[in-house]
Structure 1
Amino acid sequence: MQFTLIDRILELEPGQKIVAIKNLTLAEEYLAEHFPGFPVLPGVLMLEAMSQAAAWLIRVTEDYAHSVVVLKSVKAVKYGSFVTPGHQLRIEAQVARHTESETELRAKGTTDGVAAVSGRITMERYNLRDREPALQGADRDIVAFYKKQFPLLAIDWLRKTKQAVEIADPVGSGAIA
């Protein structure tokens, strides 16, 4: 089962940082079991939200050079406040180190200005074709999917930055005006 845990990208500085939000609602399936009578966003999904935000930062920074951007490791995780339905998890991630195949970031999530989660995450990136040449077409399809999804998540940021409009609308159709 896959969860999309980023509802909006508010800020993005390629190669530097990203700010994104997850709006938690009672409609989230996993809340029925976590916890009965006191629904809260599970800690592992807070980490997943941080890794999804980091993946978007990496994709945009590298102009979608890699089809796969995945969480490799998590260190120094600390949990604070619960995130309950009706509240937002605000995720901020900053690049600490960027190499050819990995990016380490300092990430945190807050709700109503109070720390909910923080830690250091390492993201790994690669193309499927590098592991199996026959998957080159899959790389193209995956990248196309993310390029199509990005403007929907980053519409506010896109409206603020000309560079971002060029990323989302490379042919200049004016769709992001």
Structure 2
Amino acid sequence: MRFLLIDRINDFRPGEYISATKSVSLAEEYLQDHFPGFPILPGVLMVECLTQAAAWLMRLSEDFKYSTILLKEAKAVKFNSFVSPGQSINIECTLAKREGNLYTFKATGTRGDTSVVSARITLEQSNIADSNPKMAASDETQREFFRSLAAGLWTPPAA
């Protein structure tokens, strides 16, 4: 199952910063079990929101050069509050360090003025064809998929 959690990219500065939003809806199936009578966005999905926003920063900054972006490490993860259906989590990710294909971000999620989650996350980008050249077409399929998603998430400001 693939969770596409980012609903909108609000701001983007290539190689530096991204701001995005995830709106939580009671229609999201996992909320039926988390928790019955008190539905909240699971903490692991809060971290996934941070990860996906940071991955969008990488994709947009690199013009979709890499097909695969994976979470390598999450440090100093802090959960401070809940996000319930009808509320939104606003995510901000700032690039803290880059070493080759590894990117480390300071990431935060807020609900209005309330901090709900924060972490330092490290992501790694690659192409499947780097280890198996026969998979180059799969890389391109993934890149096209994310390009088409980006068109619905982010509208660059008029020049």
- TM class by smaller structure: over 0.9
| 1:17 Cα offset (Å) | 0.5
1:25-36 mapped onto 2 (5 Å cutoff): 25-36=25-36
Q: What TM-score, normalized by structure 1, do the two folds share?
A: 0.88
Taking only the aligned residue pairs, the percentage that are identical comes to: 44
1:116 aligned residue:
116
The reply on whether 1:66 has 2:66 as its aligned counterpart is yes
**Unaligned segments of structure 1, at least 5 residues:** 163-177
More helix by share: 1
SS at the partner of 2:85? coil
Q: d(CA) in 1 for partners of 2:134 and 2:158? A: 38
Contact 1:87/1:112 (<8 A) preserved:
no
SS at the partner of 2:148? helix
1:57 aligned residue:
57
- Give the total of aligned pairs: 159
Q: Which ranges of 4 or more aligned residues in structure 1 deviate by more than 6 Å?
A: none
| 1:161 Cα offset (Å) | 4.1
More strand by share: 2
Alignment-mate amino acid for residue 134 of structure 2: A
SS at the partner of 2:84? coil
Q: d(CA) in 2 for partners of 1:105 and 1:127? A: 21
Superposed CA RMSD in Å reads 0.8
SS at the partner of 1:104? strand
2:41 aligned residue:
41
The reply on whether 1:97 has 2:97 as its aligned counterpart is yes
Q: d(CA) in 2 for partners of 1:145 and 1:19? A: 21
**Unaligned segments of structure 2, at least 5 residues:** none
